[in-house]
Amino acid sequence: MIKAGIVGGAGYTAGELLRILISHPEAEIISVMSGSHTGDPVFKAHPDLEGDTDLIFSDSISDESDVVFLCSGHGKSKGIIDQGIIPEGAKIIDLSADFRIEDGTHDFVYGLPELNRNRIKTAKNIANPGCFATCIQLSLLPLADAGLLNEDVHVSAITGSTGAGQSPSDTTHFSWRSNNASVYKAFTHQHLGEIRQSLTQLQSGFDKGIHFIPMRGAFTRGILAACYLRSDISENEAKAIFEAYYTDHPFVVVSDSEPDVKKVVNTNKAMVYIQKEGDQLLIQGVIDNLTKGASGQAVQNMNLIFGLDEKTGLNLKSAGF
């Protein structure tokens, strides 16, 4: 059994990670660290887990951990590592943005399996991709791999409120978000750097703009991204390119019908749909921001690192209604 520890165990991504790992046939959670909940039962922060686990929040990570998931939020992971609380030899899977840019200053591999699966298998440390970045990249990687990103890319995408984390703010609390929608960080979103990094990994000459308009939606989970660009290829040619690229990637479905977030919520699945109108090629992508966009992908990366089938423990059912 893989012995897992979690740092920052009280937040949304940690809660989702706990739900997946509790039922994982090859993993065992041996410590869940939380500075704000030390000594409390885990279900005090995650009430839906009452009756599923007797785990208690601790103030440290077990020395027996084979893998440690960092769920403490952006800007905190380096400090946690520098404290020396992670056992020597343990793999690290970081769910923050701290190590996603591979700039030569760290040894973290960017953990998008549909791009870096072979590198992930031999990695010591993994930087889990961002949620918007995962959805957008899965909608564009096959085109980059075929050298077909030769025009500016436009993206409009909307995310549920859980993408902003558990701590309440003016734009996440229920009374503001309900029956509402808004744009934020237009053209400047923090995920643009990792998206460009991945696209240029496959298409080294890609130097076009990525014009990204993120939006907040009045729902809790899920991301829908509409990515479009001018292209000379036909709809059928584009679909064939996507199907070939994702042949060996079990969590990406190239769909024949327009997707919606309910098809993927609570799963590690991504769905993409391709259509052509005039000279515009449109790719719609949907994921659950907490599973494929965060904790599910983290477990997928764990599976790859430890030589398991990447689907292990991730046979999750969507909530269709």
Distance of alpha carbon 301 from alpha carbon 162, whole angstroms:
22
Q: Residue 315 falls within a domain, yes or no?
A: no
* CA distance from start to end of the chain: 35
87 is in which domain, residue-wise?
2-129+292-305
Residue type (1 letter), 222: G
Domain match, 103 and 179 both? no
Q: Which two tokens stand for residue 4?
A: 């897992």
Percent of the chain residues topping a pLDDT of 90: 88
Domain match, 282 and 141 both? yes
Q: Within 13 Å, how many C-alpha atoms sit on residue 204's CB side?
A: 0
What pLDDT sits at residue 319?
76
Q: Residue 312 falls within a domain, yes or no?
A: no
- Output phi, psi for 250, to 5 deg: -70, -15
Q: Residue 60 falls within a domain, yes or no?
A: yes
CATH of the domain at 11: 3.40.50.720
What pLDDT sits at residue 166?
54
Q: Residue 36 falls within a domain, yes or no?
A: yes
Domain match, 78 and 26 both? yes
Per-residue pLDDT tens listing for the chain (321 residues): 999 999 999 988 999 999 999 999 999 999 999 988 999 999 999 999 999 999 999 999 999 999 999 999 788 899 999 999 999 999 999 999 999 999 999 999 999 999 999 999 999 999 999 999 999 999 999 999 999 999 999 999 999 987 655 555 566 666 677 889 999 989 999 999 999 999 999 999 999 999 999 999 999 899 999 999 999 999 999 999 999 999 999 999 999 999 999 999 999 999 999 999 999 999 999 999 999 999 999 999 999 999 999 999 999 988 777
Domain match, 138 and 283 both? yes
Domain match, 260 and 137 both? yes
Domain match, 260 and 170 both? yes
What pLDDT sits at residue 74?
81
Q: Which two tokens stand for residue 209?
A: 């703009």
**Within 10 A of 219 (CB to CB), how many other CB atoms are there?**
16
Q: Residue 53 falls within a domain, yes or no?
A: yes
Residues marked active site are found at 131
Domain match, 32 and 140 both? no
- Between β-strands 210-216 and 125-127, what pairing exists: parallel, antiparallel or unpaired? unpaired
Tokens 């991301």 found at: 223
What pLDDT sits at residue 173?
64
Distance of alpha carbon 45 from alpha carbon 37, whole angstroms:
8
Distance of alpha carbon 172 from alpha carbon 214, whole angstroms:
15
Q: Within 13 Å, how many C-alpha atoms sit on residue 89's CB side?
A: 6
Count of structural domains within the chain: 2
Domain match, 68 and 172 both? no
Domain match, 182 and 269 both? yes
Q: Between the CA of residue 14 and those of 22, 75, 171, what are the distances in Å? A: 12, 17, 22
Residue type (1 letter), 94: D
What pLDDT sits at residue 69?
98
What pLDDT sits at residue 35?
83
Distance of alpha carbon 42 from alpha carbon 58, whole angstroms:
10
Domain match, 189 and 90 both? no
Domain match, 300 and 244 both? no
- Output phi, psi for 260, to 5 deg: -140, 160
Domain match, 140 and 252 both? yes
Q: Residue 32 falls within a domain, yes or no?
A: yes
Distance of alpha carbon 233 from alpha carbon 256, whole angstroms:
18
CATH of the domain at 212: 3.30.360.10
What pLDDT sits at residue 317?
87
Q: Residue 320 falls within a domain, yes or no?
A: no
Distance of alpha carbon 263 from alpha carbon 241, whole angstroms:
23
Q: What is the pLDDT of residues 52-99, one digit of tens each?
A: 999 999 999 999 999 999 999 788 899 999 999 999 999 999 999 999
